[in-house]
């Protein structure tokens, strides 16, 4: 029964005192037998059909998350568990996602945490998600477990104990690690114009989102992940400020320019899109 039909039936068959409703039949029986009427909430006098399992439940046994549908508590929890188990089943929903405030009380603390983690994974672009390199794990590593405070590397530390390099997505074992696949991971997409003084576009070294530097100095901040870096060498920005002593101009590109493959013509030979030279080393 939908809610409009329920309201009509309720008016004709019940009388209300405050938030308590008693049907005419119950009231008559109580007077006849000299018994007190057991108060019940108005919503629980009518049963609703769950739009998923099709069983009938009182109003307190589910949630009315939209104008047309009612979902029982069990199906709501099942939908959340399904979304946690498989990202393709995210978000938990019927015709639309369940509003979190009205179903929060049905979820255990463990489910809430797991669902929030799945939500972060879902809303993170596929190209920049980091998964544990351990084949026995392959779990998504949240941003809170990514360390980017070292000038040489960014490490994602999984709860299983495995460390994954954010750059090349290979296992990181120690500080001697070098991203040999870094250049291949930042190939310029076909829709992006060729790099030039009028189109200085590069991918953020932390999240791989493409951005264009239009003006001002080479101290860059990614609008997506808020990572701060030098737009020339692509290394993390530090309290030391500009990298003039290391060959990075404060404004614009290096004076020597780049060769046809995108490597600096100067002594460092860093690639403009990766910050690494042909040997896989950065300016450090």
pLDDT at 13: 39
Q: Which of 156, 112, 105 is nearest to 133 (CA)?
A: 156
Within a 10 A sphere around the Cβ of 123, how many other Cβ atoms?
9
Using 50 as the pLDDT threshold, list the residues of the chain that sit under it. Answer: 1-40, 181-186
User: Structural domain boundaries of the chain?
Assistant: 46-123, 124-182, 185-283
Predicted pLDDT at 247: 78
Digit-coded pLDDT (tens) for 66-90? 888 899 999 999 999 999 999 889 9
Q: Which fold has domain 46-123?
A: Herpes Virus-1 (3.30.40)
pLDDT of residue 4: 47
The whole-number pLDDT of residue 119 equals 92
């Amino acid at each position: 029964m939908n809610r409009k039909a329920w309201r009509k039936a309720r008016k004709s068959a019940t009388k209300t005192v405050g938030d308590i409703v008693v049907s005419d039949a119950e009231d008559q029986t109580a007077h006849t037998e000299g018994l007190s009427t057991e108060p019940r909430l108005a919503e629980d006098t009518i049963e609703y059909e769950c739009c998923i399992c099709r069983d009938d439940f009182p109003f307190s046994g589910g949630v009315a998350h939209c104008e047309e549908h009612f979902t029982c508590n069990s199906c709501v929890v099942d939908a959340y568990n399904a979304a946690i188990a498989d990202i393709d089943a995210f978000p938990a929903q019927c015709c639309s996602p369940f509003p979190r405030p009205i179903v929060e009380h049905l979820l255990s603390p463990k489910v809430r945490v797991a669902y929030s983690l799945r939500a972060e994974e879902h809303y993170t672009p596929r190209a920049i998600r980091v998964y544990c390199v351990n084949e026995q794990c392959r779990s998504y590593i949240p941003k809170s477990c990514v360390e980017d405070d070292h000038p040489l590397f960014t490490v994602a530390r999984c709860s299983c104990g495995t460390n994954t390099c954010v750059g090349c997505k290979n296992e990181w074992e120690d500080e001697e690690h070098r991203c040999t696949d870094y250049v291949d991971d930042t190939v310029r997409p076909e829709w992006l114009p060729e790099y030039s003084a009028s189109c200085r576009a590069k991918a953020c070294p932390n999240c791989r989102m493409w951005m264009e530097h239009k003006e001002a100095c080479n101290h860059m901040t990614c609008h997506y992940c808020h990572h701060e870096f030098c737009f020339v060498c692509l290394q993390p920005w530090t309290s030391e400020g500009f990298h003039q002593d290391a060959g990075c101009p404060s404004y614009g590109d290096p004076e020597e320019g780049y060769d046809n493959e995108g490597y600096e013509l100067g002594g460092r030979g860093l690639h403009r899109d990766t910050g690494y030279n042909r040997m896989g080393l950065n300016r450090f």
